[in-house]
Structure 1
Amino acid sequence: MFRAFAFVYGTACYAVFLLVFLYAIGFVSGVGVPKHVDNGVATTLPLALVINLALLSLFAVQHSGMARPAFKRWWTRIVPASLERSTFVLAANVVLVLLYWQWRPMPMPVWDVEVEAARWLLYGLAALGWVMVLASTFLIDHFDLFGLRQSWRAALGRGPRPSAPFVTRALYRIVRHPIMFGFLIAFWATPTMTLGHLLFAGVTTGYILVAVKYLEERDLVAQFGDTYRDYQRRVPMLLPWRRPSRKTGEAAPVSAHHGAG
């Protein structure tokens, strides 16, 4: 019974993730979805600000809180370890759906690019950001990152897979967190920036900077020690502002370390 449940549960959580991720593209860009960052229930500006900040804060607390090793150790006393990641993904999806549903528009314009070629250039840059996000998950271990591999191994009666060694490839040689870099591009590259979109992009950028620098990087140093400290010295965190350096005689890496969350 548990094996069957693990298969169905992990697969369902992954399917929900795919739908929520696709909706996120439309929500941020304002294209192809009924409810996006610039439409919805009309609300006074102060109330919209309070509601939107509360929704963004809820996501930040859920995402960073459940990703911490201490929480995982406590949580896996309740939830089977093989389903912990799928449960994390499901919880994040629920919070995001709530954000999509309850977000209040703040339509006051901040900028609006009128030149058609420039508008399409910004749309293309945003699309590149979303592609970077998804591609970066496959450069590490996409199915492990979203819990599908763990649940399927449980369904097959196999134990947890041994942790992979710390190695990097492709985009991870340019920045340490290309998933987050892709999100930053996708959130900011828009020809029409409203106050609501600016709030969304600004708060999520602040959250990414804090969570990556003070939480995830700390966890990775604790996990990989001097190996990760050397990686920090050689490769920039989020923005490819300098050329990554390599040690003399260093072998080309073949796979990547654990990603966001």
Structure 2
Amino acid sequence: MKRYLTLGYGVLCYAVFLASFLYAVGFVGNVVVPRTVDHGITASIGEAVVVNLILLGLFAVQHSVMARPAFKRMWTRVVPQAIERSTYVLMSSLLLGLLYWQWRTMPQVVWHVTAPAGRYVLLTLFWVGWAIVLMSTFMISHVDLFGLRQVYLAWRGEPYRDLPFRTTMFYRVVRHPIMVGFIIAFWATPMMTAGHLLFSLATTGYILIAIQLEEHDLVAGLGAPYRDYRAEVPMMIPGLHPHHHSAGPRHAV
């Protein structure tokens, strides 16, 4: 029974993640969903800045703290290792849900591109960014990244083993294509409001900080292979410096 509960919990957490991810596309792009970055709760500018930064900060703290190896070692004394990743994914998804629900509107327009060609380019980049994010998860291991492999192995009664350190596709061009995709998606908009700008600035700042933490953990965990990879492949900007064939990353969280 425990094995089936573990598997069911992992699948449920993944379903919540999938809903939050799809909602994120609509939230940032102002499409389909009722609450978006430009259509949230009406508030004064002061309240909106404070509340929105708190919402973003809650997600950032949880997302980074729970990803650190030291926290994982402590956390898995309470939570079974098989569902540690799924629990992380669930909590991140729930905090995103809180952000969508409580986001305050800041409607002041920073820029508005009205030329058809410009709008087309920006909207295309928006969707390309999200495509890069999704595709990149499959280039490492989508099922491992979101906890499904862990609960599946537990259901089969098999021990979990880390995936091999390797490079595939986008990871041969930049070390963090998922984050590159997010940044493109967050900034590519024909109409940038104050609320959208706050969201984009805060999330980009968080991404740049989180990458440093992740790289520190990868070097500590993988040693020379990751140091070599880091020396050869740029972090986020393709072609920033020459790079050659190397092993690439398994995901770090």
Please give the TM-score of this superposition, normalised by the length of structure 2: 0.97
Contact 2:41 2:104 in 1 (8 A): yes
Structure 2 counterpart of 1:175, one-letter code: V
Contact 2:122 2:190 in 1 (8 A): yes
Alignment partners' CA distance in 2, 1:194 and 1:14: 32
CA distances 1:100-149 after superposition (whole Å, capped 9, x unpaired): 00000100000000101211211111100000000000000100000011
Alignment partners' CA distance in 2, 1:117 and 1:81: 50
Q: Partner of 1:110: helix, strand, or coil?
A: strand
Q: Which residue of 2 aligns with 1:210?
A: 209
Q: Which residue of 1 aligns with 2:233?
A: 235
Q: Which residue of 2 aligns with 1:135?
A: 135
Q: Which residue of 1 aligns with 2:94?
A: 94
Greater CA deviation, 163-172 or 203-212? 163-172
User: CA RMSD of the aligned region, Å?
Assistant: 1.2
Q: Which residue of 2 aligns with 1:180?
A: 179
Alignment partners' CA distance in 1, 2:201 and 2:115: 25
Q: Which residue of 2 aligns with 1:199?
A: 198
Contact 1:126 1:187 in 2 (8 A): yes
Q: Which residue of 1 aligns with 2:29?
A: 29
Q: Which residue of 2 aligns with 1:65?
A: 65
Q: Which residue of 1 aligns with 2:4?
A: 4
Contact 2:60 2:206 in 1 (8 A): yes
State how 1:143-154 maps to structure 2 within 5 Å: 143-154=143-154
Structure 2 counterpart of 1:257, one-letter code: P
Q: Which residue of 2 aligns with 1:259?
A: 251
> Structure 2 unaligned runs (5+)?
none
Post-superposition, which runs of at least 4 consecutive aligned residues in structure 1 deviate over 4 A? none
Contact 2:140 2:250 in 1 (8 A): yes
Instruction: Among all aligned residue pairs of Structure 1 and Structure 2, give the percentage whose two residues are the same amino acid.
Output: 56
Q: Which residue of 2 aligns with 1:39?
A: 39
Structure 1 residue 119 and structure 2 residue 133: aligned?
Answer: no
Contact 1:41 1:104 in 2 (8 A): yes
Alignment partners' CA distance in 1, 2:23 and 2:166: 32
Q: Partner of 1:46: helix, strand, or coil?
A: helix
Alignment partners' CA distance in 2, 1:56 and 1:104: 12
CA distances 1:63-98 after superposition (whole Å, capped 9, x unpaired): 000000000000000111000000000000010000
Q: Partner of 1:7: helix, strand, or coil?
A: helix
> Structure 1 unaligned runs (5+)?
none
1:175 Cα deviation after fit: 0.6
Q: Which residue of 2 aligns with 1:169?
A: 168
Contact 1:177 1:259 in 2 (8 A): no
Alignment partners' CA distance in 2, 1:125 and 1:84: 34
